[in-house]
Structure 1
Amino acid sequence: MADIFIYLGYFVLTIDLILYTYSFFRKEEANVFFVSYLAFCFIMQFSMEAMYHFHLNNLFLVNIFIIGQMIFLGLFYNSIFNVKSQKRFVLISVGAALLILAIQFATDWGQFLRFNLFEITLASLLVVIFALIHFYNMLTESKKYYYISIGVMFYLLTSTVLFLIGNLTHNLSKEFKFLSWQLNSVLLVMYYGFILFDWKKNFSKKSVN
C-alpha cells in the first residue's frame, strides 16, 4: 500500500512540474523560484528512489533535500514579498540557518549521514514562518499562492513530527518505523495535491488560448 502512495506522489509531482514549467515558459506567470523548487524536488525524489533500489544509504540526500527545500522556498517567498523588511528577514534568516548548519556539519560530519533532528526542525519551521508572513500579507494583498502556502504549512509541520518520530524510534520495530514512512508518503501526495490545486485556481484558466 505504501508503494501506491509513493508512486502517486511522484506522478502528481511530475504533473505539477510540467504545468508550472508550462505556465512559466509559455505564459510567464509562474514564479521562477517555485518552478526551480519543483524541479529540485523531482530530481531529489527520483535520486532517492534510485539509491533505495540499489540498496544504497540515501539519508544524506534527505538532508540535501531538507536544506535545498529551505533555500528554494525561502527564495520563493522572498520574491513575492513586497515589504523590504520581510525580504531582508528571509535572506538573513536563511543565511543564518545555513551558517549554523555548516558549523554543525563541520564539528560533527556524521549528522549529515543520518536524520538530523536539529536541521529538520530549523529548516522546516523557518519556511513555515515565511508562509505565515505570506498569509498575513494576503489580508491586504491578492491571495496568489494561497493553497501552496497551506500545503507548505501542513506538510512541513506534520512531516517534521514524523521525521522526529522516525529518528527517535530508530531502535524500535520495523513495523512502527514503516508506518511513519507510510504516513509521510500520504502527506506528500496531499502536499503536491495542494500545489496542483493552486495551479488550477491561478493559472489554468489563463492558460487557455
Structure 2
Amino acid sequence: MFDFFIYLGYFVLTIDLILYTYSFFRKKKANVFFVSYLAFSFVMQFSMEVMYHLRMNNLFLVNIFIIGQMILLGLFYKSIFNLKRQKNFVLISIVVALLILAVQFIIDWNQFLRFNLFEITLTSLLVVIFALIHFYNMLTESKEYYYISIAVVFYLLTSTVLFLIGNLTHNLSKEFKFLSWQLNSILLVMYYGFILYDWKKNLSKDVAN
C-alpha cells in the first residue's frame, strides 16, 4: 500500500507536468516558475527513486530538492505579487535563508548529506508565508492559483510536522516511524491532486480553444 501511494504521487506529478507544460508552451497561460518547479520536482523525484533502487544514499538529493523548492516556489509567488515591497520581501527572504543554510553547511558539511530538519522547517515555513501573503492579496484581487496555494500551505505544514514528529520519536517502534512516511506519501498525492485541480479549474478551458 505504501508503494501504491508513492507511485500514484509520481503519476499525478507527471500528469501535472504534462498539462502545465502544454498550457505554458502552447497557450502561454501557465506560470514559467511553476512549470519549472514541476519539472524540477519530476527530475528530482525520478533521480531519488533510481538511487533508492540502486541502494545509494540519496539524502543529498533530498536537500537539493528542498532548497530548489524554496527558490522556485518563492520566485513563483514573487512573479504573481503586484506590490514591490512583497516582491522584495520574497527575494530578501530567499537570500537570507540561503546564507543561513550556507553557514550551517560550512560549519558542518555533513548536514548536506543528512536528513536536515532545520533546512526543511526553514524553507517550508518561508514558502508557507509567501502563500499566505498571496491569500491576503486574493481578498482584493482575483483568486489566481487559489488551489495551488491551498496545497502548498496544507502539504508543507503537515509534512514538516510529520518529519519533526518522526525525528523526535526516533526511539519509538519502526512501525510508528513507517506510519509517518505512509501519511506523507498520501499527503503528497493530495498535494499534486490539488495542483491538478487548479489546472482543471483555470487552464483546462484554454486547451479546447
Q: Normalising TM by the smaller chain, what interval? A: over 0.9
Distance 2:41 2:20 in 1: 13
Task: Single out whichever of 75-84 and 169-178 deviates more from structure 2.
Answer: 169-178
SS in 2 for 1:205: helix
Alignment-mate amino acid for residue 162 of structure 2? L
The one-letter amino acid of 1:32's match is: V
Q: Which amino acid aligns with 2:199?
A: W
* Aligned mates of 2:72, 2:152 — CA distance in 1: 12
Take 2:172 and 2:57, find their aligned partners in 1: how far apart are those partners? 19
* Percentage of identical aligned residues: 85
Residue 41 of structure 1 corresponds to 41
The answer to whether the 8 A contact 1:105-1:111 is kept is yes
Letter in 2 for 1:174: K
Alignment correspondent of 1:137: 137
Matching residue of 2:127: 127
Shift of 1:171: 4.2
What SS does structure 1 have at the residue aligned with 2:207?
A: coil
RMSD between aligned residues: 0.9
Shift of residue 175, structure 1, vs aligned partner: 1.5
Task: Tell me the secondary structure at the aligned position of residue 57 of structure 1.
Answer: coil
Letter in 2 for 1:93: S
| Distance across 1 between alignment mates of 2:170 and 2:64 | 20
Which stretches of structure 1, 4 residues or longer, exceed 4 Å deviation after superposition?
none
Residue 172 of structure 1 aligns with which residue? 172
Post-superposition offset of 1:113 = 1.4
Q: Which residue matches 1:102?
A: 102
Give me the whole-angstrom Cα distance separating, in 2, the residues matched to 1:78 and 1:31.
11
Are 1:3 and 2:3 an aligned pair?
Answer: yes
Change (3 A) 1:51 1:171: farther
Do structure 1's residue 69 and structure 2's residue 58 form an aligned pair?
Answer: no
Determine the C-alpha separation between the residues in 1 that align with 2:110 and 2:170.
16
Measured after TM superposition, the shift of residue 152 of structure 1 is 0.1
Cα deviation for residue 162 of structure 1 reads 1.2
SS at match of 1:28: coil
Report Cα offsets for 1:174-208 as digits up to 9, x if no partner. 21221111010000000000000000010001211
Structure 1 distance, partners of 2:95, 2:65, is: 17
- TM normalised by structure 1 equals 0.98
Deviation, structure 1 residue 5 = 0.3
Identify unmatched segments of 5+ residues in structure 2: none
Scaled by the length of structure 2, the TM-score of the pair is: 0.98
The residue number in structure 1 matching 2:29 is 29
Asked if structure 2 preserves the Cα contact closer than 8 Å seen for 1:115 and 1:167, the reply is no
- TM-aligned CA deviation for residue 170 of structure 1: 3.5
Query: Greater shift after overlay, 108-117 or 187-196?
Result: 108-117
